[in-house]
Structure 1
Amino acid sequence: MKPTPCLLITRFAPHAQILADKLKNNGYASIAQPLFKVHALKDPKMLRSFINHEYDIVIAVSRNAVKYTHQQLIGSWPEALYLAVGDATQKQLNKVTNQLVLTPLSQFDSEGLLALDALQSVKSKRILILRGEGGRDLLAETLSHRGAKVEFFQTYKRVKIDLDGDELVNNWQQAAINGAIISSIEILNQLFTLVSNKHNSWLSELILYVPSQRVAIQATKLGAKHVVLLPSLDSDQIVKFFKTNNGSRE
């Protein structure tokens, strides 16, 4: 019999605790432990361009990108074609814009987004990417090669939380943690940095639940033996996933 998942939730606050609470309400023990915190950034020039309807297409790469853009806007979001990398980001973007938001049906990453019909013929289109500081450049590079003029509105930055890795691992082991939900490569890398070498064997045996093949490949490179693709990063969808197959590594 498979052990019941006991999960480490590493995503940003407050989403980590929200997911942990939902899992607990459905019978799954979990610990919320964000590894990064978020600081808002200001870019008045880009904000003015956005408000002045200067973009044909707007792409949000994360819920934080939506949140911190929304905090800076005065009035409603401008009319544009909106796209989101994942369905959790789509849900939040749809809520604040009250407009149709396109997203991939299954591959929730830059590659999935770039495969959408809406981004195939973008020559001379002005595209704004809402993201955090230092995000991945594949979207911008590919869309530029397709003839679009691409700019970034970077509304936040990720800051590592100062944590005692050995103390945390001891707590996680005492709580019988046997899996971890990882929402990005940055979080994945930080988890493996935080856990000292003496705990490598324990870390490698965790079932890592990840949102994309790209993160899965990186997890395997770092030494993870058990990696499972999540269908979505939406909290309700994650709960449904565990209720349906109990976090199977198959």
Structure 2
Amino acid sequence: MKTESRLLITRFSPKAELLALELNKVGCFSIAQPLLRIEALEDALTTEKFVNGYYDVVIAVSGNAVECTKRLINKEWPKATYIAVGVSTQALLNGVIENEALVPEDSADSEGLLNLELLQSIQGKRILILRGQGGRDLLDKTLAARGAEVTFLESYKRVKLDLNGIELVNNWQQASINGAIISSTEILNQLFTLVPNKYKDWLSKLILYVPSSRVAQQASLLGARQVVILPSLRTERIVEFFKENNGKCK
């Protein structure tokens, strides 16, 4: 018989709280504990270049990138082919552009974006990437290697929350937490940094639910013994996933 899931939700606020609320509604015990927060940035020069510039392709690597860029722009977004890393980001993009944004079908990560047919022959194309500060460079390096001219609009940064690791782990253990939903490599790394060494064995036994094979590989490198790739990071899809898997909910 499968063990009932008791989940730790580490996503950014307010998505963590919303997901925990919805999971608890269907009988999946969940605790929301964001580990990082988003702090919007303002780069007037870069924003001006975006609004008044010309780009063949604009890529949004996260919903946070779209939302924080929206705060900087109070006029029409430039015409281009827009690509979103996943359907949630696509929905946000569609709210601010004229045409529907493209989205990879196979995986919601940089690898999925790079597999798009549109990004195979891009010699001389101008590509702008909407992302957070210090974002992953696989995407831009690969696009540049294919001959594209790549620039960025970094509209936010990730900030570590001031948390007490020992106190949190004690609370999680008292709640019999046996799984954690991790939405990015940055959050995964912060979880393993936050948890003190004496609790690393407990942490390694948690089932980590992650969005992609890349995050899964990093989790395994950090010592996680059980890693499951989620079908999507959309709240409704995660709830469906746990409802459909016997033993995952009450």
Deviation at 1:78, TM superposition (A): 2.1
1-structure distance, mates of 2:30, 2:5: 8
- 1:137 and 2:134 are equivalent in the alignment: no
Deviation at 1:161, TM superposition (A): 0.5
2-structure distance, mates of 1:84, 1:174: 39
Q: How many residues align?
A: 248
2-structure distance, mates of 1:98, 1:30: 38
Query: 3-state SS of the aligned residue for 2:176?
Result: coil
Aligned residues of 2:8 and 2:181 also touching (Cα < 8 A): yes
Query: 3-state SS of the aligned residue for 1:31?
Result: strand
- 1:157 and 2:157 are equivalent in the alignment: yes
Larger deviation, residues 162-171 vs 102-111: 102-111
Which whole-Å deviations, capped at 9, do the CAs of 1:96-131 have from their partners, x for residues lacking one?
A: 325311111121111111010111111111111000
Aligned residues of 1:87 and 1:233 also touching (Cα < 8 A): no
Aligned to 1:52: 52
Aligned to 2:82: 82
Aligned to 1:20: 20
- 1:31 and 2:39 are equivalent in the alignment: no
- 1:222 and 2:222 are equivalent in the alignment: yes
Correspondences of 1:1-250 after superposition (within 5 Å): 1-246=1-246
Aligned residues of 2:2 and 2:247 also touching (Cα < 8 A): no
Query: 3-state SS of the aligned residue for 2:96?
Result: helix
Q: Which runs of 5+ in 1 are unaligned?
A: none
Q: Where does structure 1 differ by over 6 angstroms across 4 or more consecutive aligned residues? A: none
* AA partner of residue 14 (structure 2): P
Larger deviation, residues 78-87 vs 180-189: 78-87
CA distance 1:246–1:42, shift in 2 (3 Å): farther
CA distance 1:157–1:80, shift in 2 (3 Å): same
* AA partner of residue 76 (structure 1): E
Which whole-Å deviations, capped at 9, do the CAs of 1:57-105 have from their partners, x for residues lacking one?
A: 1100111101100111112322211111122212222233253111111
**Percent sequence identity over aligned pairs:** 60
Larger deviation, residues 87-96 vs 131-140: 87-96
TM-score (norm 2): 0.95
* AA partner of residue 49 (structure 1): K
Query: 3-state SS of the aligned residue for 2:95?
Result: helix
Query: 3-state SS of the aligned residue for 1:101?
Result: coil
Which whole-Å deviations, capped at 9, do the CAs of 1:11-68 have from their partners, x for residues lacking one?
A: 1111111111111122211111110111111111221121124111110011110110
Query: 3-state SS of the aligned residue for 2:216?
Result: helix
Q: Which runs of 5+ in 2 are unaligned?
A: none
Which whole-Å deviations, capped at 9, do the CAs of 1:115-170 have from their partners, x for residues lacking one?
A: 10111111111111000000001111111111111001000000100100010011
Aligned residues of 1:10 and 1:33 also touching (Cα < 8 A): yes
Aligned residues of 1:53 and 1:79 also touching (Cα < 8 A): no
CA distance 1:158–1:247, shift in 2 (3 Å): farther
